[in-house]
C-alpha cells in the first residue's frame, strides 16, 4: 500500500526526512490533533483483501506505547474517540513518561519524578517508579 494525496489533506508529514516516506495527511484542530492519512492498495493487495479479509497495521512507536488508531474507509472522522469505550476526550491526558492516553482521574502527578516539570503519569508508570525506589 502507498500513501496518497486526498481532498482534505492539509500537510505532508516527514516531507524533509529521507529515511521515511512522505505522508500526505490531514491534522485536525486542537486539542486532539487527530491525524488522518489515505492509502491505496495495489491491484494484488486489493485481491488479497477481498479473499483473505485482513489488514495488518504497523506503527513505529519509538519505544512508547501505541496511541489509539482507527482503520476505516471514511475520509475524515470528526470525533474518533468513542466515549462508550472508556476514553472521555474531556478527561484524557497522555502519560508524561510513556505517552499512553488515559483518564486523568486514574493518574498521578509526575512532578516528583521529573524535576517538577508538570504532567501526569499513568498507573503503569506509577507502579514502575515505585518499584525503582524500593
**Mean pLDDT computed over 107-129:** 84
| Residue among 39, 41, 35 at smallest CA distance from 11 | 35
Look at phi and psi of residue 44 and say left if phi exceeds 0, alpha if psi is from -120 to 50, else beta: alpha
Q: Judge whether residue 37 has pLDDT over 60.
A: yes
**Mean pLDDT computed over 54-65:** 80
Which pairs with CB-CB distance under 8 Å and at least 24 residues apart come from 116-124?
A: 119/93, 119/95, 120/93, 120/95, 120/96, 121/95, 121/96, 121/97, 122/95, 122/97, 122/98, 124/95, 124/98, 124/100
State the pLDDT confidence band at 85, using cuts at 50, 70 and 90: very low
Amino acid at each position: 500500500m502507498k500513501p496518497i494525496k486526498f481532498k482534505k489533506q492539509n500537510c505532508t508529514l516527514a516531507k524533509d526526512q529521507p529515511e521515511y516516506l512522505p505522508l500526505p495527511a490531514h491534522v485536525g484542530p486542537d486539542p486532539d490533533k487527530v491525524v488522518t492519512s489515505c492509502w491505496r492498495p495495489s491491484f494484488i493487495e486489493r485481491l488479497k483483501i477481498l479473499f483473505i479479509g485482513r489488514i495488518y497495521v504497523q506503527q513505529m512507536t519509538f519505544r512508547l506505547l501505541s496511541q489509539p488508531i482507527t482503520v476505516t474507509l471514511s475520509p475524515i472522522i470528526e470525533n474518533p474517540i468513542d466515549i462508550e469505550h472508556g476514553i472521555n476526550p474531556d478527561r484524557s491526558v497522555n502519560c508524561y513518561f510513556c505517552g499512553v492516553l488515559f483518564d486523568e482521574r486514574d493518574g498521578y502527578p509526575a512532578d516528583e519524578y521529573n524535576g517538577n516539570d508538570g504532567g501526569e503519569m499513568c498507573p503503569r508508570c506509577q507502579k514502575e517508579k515505585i518499584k525503582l525506589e524500593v
